[in-house]
Amino acid sequence: MNKLRMGMVGGGPNAFIGAIHRAAAALDGEIELCCGAFSRDAQQSRVFGESLGLAPDRVYDDYQSLFEKEANLPVEKRMQFVSIVTPNNMHYPIADAALTSGFNVLCDKPATLTLDECQALARRTEQTNLVFGLTHTYTGYAMVKEARQRIMNGELGTIRKVITEYHQGWLAAQVFDGNNKQAAWRLDPAQAGQSCCMGDIGVHAANLAEYVTGLRISAVLADLGRVEPGRVLDDDGTVLLRFEGETRGVLLASQISLGEENCLRIRAYGDSGSLEWHQEEPNTLLLKRGDQPTQILRAGHSYLSAPAQAVARTPPGHPEGYIEAFANIYRDFACMVSQQQGKGVDTTNPEHSPERQQISDLPGIAEALRGMAFIEQVVASDAAGCQWRSIEC
């Protein structure tokens, strides 16, 4: 087996998410970081790339050089995909350049700054016939996959109510805005787009709701807050939801919920059962029924569905976490890229079995479009004084 060769744009020093991407990519021994442009400061990029053990000639000054020079390398040496981990405003130009240069793309969400950009990106993706993956990380957890399967299998009956929540507290204090590099770009419309809270985490909660239920959000009514004085973008919000088929829902998101860490949760209520999952205790899924004891489903068990079992690296009781969920996204992406490149993967490795490839459900350009439409309509609904807005895409 040859490892898949990855490049990276962004993710330099102090960018925690870059280190997580690299760990997730490395975890299963199937992907190798071979090049990158890690910082807008070329010198910083070089120093950092070398600290990662990269060959100096594979560390580039900027993403343009990266794509140009990698494209000129022999095919067996050249990177096979690029991971984009920059602030939001750079996602689109970089992704577009990558695709244009012939490289598959794994991109942080939201995919672009606007829905228009995203539609352009979708067209580009279609033209190039390359793989575009979007890191809706939370769909990588085994028990999220189990939740989705239980609903797809009909165990909960018709879903009638969905509550999805994502609470954080890290933007609760104004003081963060200046001191914190993360906070600075997330709260700046030029870098983050039209929304902070909904664009950063609300869109994850919306994606999780759609992924788990298999239902698409058809309309939103949003009430967004700029709780800390002086902010232009939202730092808190609630969105009433309608899903196709009249399923009702609510999405709560906040970055000013002091004391909350990364509290992403989903509850889905059907007419024959319900389920509940919390990201902070990710290896557990509660399955509820009206007239029977609640069941605690736990990762790693043989009673789980094939997709949940397929991503298990450890036996029950040996917790897997966020990096493993992220690694599942990378693994699915790697499978798709390998298939795309006509070489397949080594099927003597059970982790690359056809069974595993079949159940890939990587978020891609469709989810990117839906995410951008969600953000735009949520912002529009709030701006219109809490009016219902349809989501069509």
Residue 305, token pair as written in the block:
């569905």
What is the 8-class DSSP label of residue 198? I
CA distance 144 to 167: 18
Nearest residue (CB) to a copy of itself, 250 versus 393: 250
| Cβ 289 to a copy of itself shortest distance, Å | 6
Nearest residue (CB) to a copy of itself, 45 versus 274: 274
DSSP H helical segments within 130-218, as ranges? 142-152, 175-179, 181-186, 189-192, 197, 203-213
Nearest residue (CB) to a copy of itself, 128 versus 328: 328
Helix pair angle (365-383, 115-128), 10° resolution: 170
| Cβ 170 to a copy of itself shortest distance, Å | 8
- The SS3 of residue 51 is helix
Choose among 222, 221, 214: nearest CA to 244.
214
| Cβ 177 to a copy of itself shortest distance, Å | 14
| Cβ 127 to a copy of itself shortest distance, Å | 33
Nearest residue (CB) to a copy of itself, 80 versus 112: 80
| Cβ 94 to a copy of itself shortest distance, Å | 22
| Cβ 64 to a copy of itself shortest distance, Å | 26
Nearest residue (CB) to a copy of itself, 168 versus 207: 168
Nearest residue (CB) to a copy of itself, 97 versus 220: 220
